[in-house]
Structure formats: C-alpha cells, structure tokens
Amino acid sequence: MGTIIYGDIQDRFGSGVSNCHVTAEDEVTHIEYYDTDADGEYSVVVGNESHNYTVSVWHSGYVVRSRTIAVTPNDFNQCDFIPPSYNLVASVEGTVEDNYGNPVENAFVWGEGTNWYGCKTNANGEYALPLHTGGTYDIKACKTNFNERSYGSITQSGYHPTTDEQTTKNFTGTYCLERILGTDDLGFVVYGRSVVIPDDLPTTSSLIAADDPATTTVKLKTWKFGSGAALTTTSSGTSDSSEGDGSGGTNYKGDCGDCGE
C-alpha cells in the first residue's frame, strides 16, 4: 500500500477547491506532487520512512498554505486544509451589506486591472475573490437596483498573494451598497425599484433624503399605492391609482414616508 497522505482542501465557505497543486516534502527534500479533484480532495503516496512531512497547497489567487504532520508508515495519514484554521484564503475577502446593514446576497464583486476577475456573495453577503495573476486591481461591487461601489485598489506581486498582500474589503458602512429607489427633481438618484406606499403614512419621514419631504416632487419608475395613501399629484395620475410604470414622467408630490418594496 505504501504511505499515503490525503485530505480535503476548502475555501472559507467550506467548498472544495479544485486544481490545487499539493506538495509533500520530507526531511531529505523529497517532494511528491498531486492536483486536487473537482471536490478539492487529494492523496499522495510518499516514502515509508517514519518522519515528518510538510504538506503545502498552491493555487493561483490564494495564499500558499502549509502544514507539517508526522506520518505513520504504510498507513493513511490525513492532512486537511479546511475552515476555520487551515482553509485557503483568497486575494480579497469580505462582506457586502446594504445601507440598512443587511447582507446583500448575489452581489457581484470584482477586481479590475490588466486582467479582470469576479465572484458573487453568498446568502450572508460574504465573498472570496481570487486574483489569479499579479497586478494592480480596483476592487468594486454592484448589484441590480443598487449603486455601484468602489473600494480602492490593491497590488498583488504574483500568481499567489503573500500573507501581507492578502486583504479584507468589507463593503459596509461608508462603502455599503445603497439601494436605488428612484430619482427626485433635485437630481438625487433614487431610481429603479417598485415602491409600495402603505395605507398609514407617517408625517415625519420620507422615501428620499430632502429637507422638506412634504413639498418634494418625486419621479418613480414604478409605484404601487396602499388604498388609503394620502398623496397629491401633479402632471398626471391620481392619488387613488393602484400602480403604474412612470414612463410618462408622472410626478407625485407629498409625504411618501416609510416607503419600501
């Protein structure tokens, strides 16, 4: 049978990483090579001596990981690279939230430079973005009905980011993705979502940011009114309209407080 080192290689989310290059180096510099399969699994046959092996994992866009294990000759020796301690770490990792502090699922995060690489966020708004070649990249995030956001640039020296080059970019707080709701007559972008105006409208809040929401004219792409919505209208449309597409440039003036999808 021989002496076998085997294990799983995963990213921060516990997903197997395929095509990782695995090396196993013993005390006399003997090296074996193996590439992980589609599930991130590997196994490599090494010498039958009873001593330590340093197992390293290489993949473009990820920090190189290494572990040293004492092998038992003529046996299976497990060496995993999995969360939370030994998983592969991508060039850029982080979280994406909206302007209400909620995670944004399926947001697209990408690095833009001479080459271009991207990924999507999971249900928790988390992402891991491997940059497979060296260079300087602008890191950006976007999603339909959200404003695009840029988070500065990073530089990676080669195919594998070093520990110092790996970085966290959280699109939160100042860098969060802002929901796009419509456009107002002052030029503020609040465009792109259906808006539901509830029956019971508060008098102190507004759909858009304005000093005087009660006298601000708002143009909406689509709208849907609650049956008791107290609105005044200009241009076209009536306050008892149930919905519309806004294509004619309908403007609605009034307190649109507490509006949402």
Residue 136 has pLDDT above 70, yes or no: yes
CB 211 within 8 Å of CB 194: no
The confidence score (pLDDT) of residue 225 equals 47
Domains of the chain, CATH where assigned = 3-78 (2.60.40.10), 92-175 (2.60.40.1120), 180-261 (no CATH)
Higher pLDDT, 245 or 74: 74
**Measuring CA to CA, which residue among 237, 260, 261, 255 is closest to residue 247?**
237
Confidence band, pLDDT 50/70/90 cuts, at residue 209: very low
Tell me how crowded residue 187 is: count the other CB atoms within 10 A of its CB.
6
Q: Over the stretch 69-95, which tens digit does the pLDDT of each residue have?
A: 999 999 999 999 999 999 999 999 999
Residue 187 has pLDDT above 90, yes or no: no
Phi, psi (rounded to 5 degrees) for 256: -100, 45
The confidence score (pLDDT) of residue 122 equals 97
The confidence score (pLDDT) of residue 26 equals 86
The confidence score (pLDDT) of residue 58 equals 96
Secondary structure string (H, E, C) spanning 135-203:
EEEEEEEECCCECCEEEEEEEECCCCCCCCCCEECCECHHHCECECCCEECCCCECCCCEEEECCCCCC
Residue 233 has pLDDT above 50, yes or no: no
The whole-model pTM stands at: 0.69
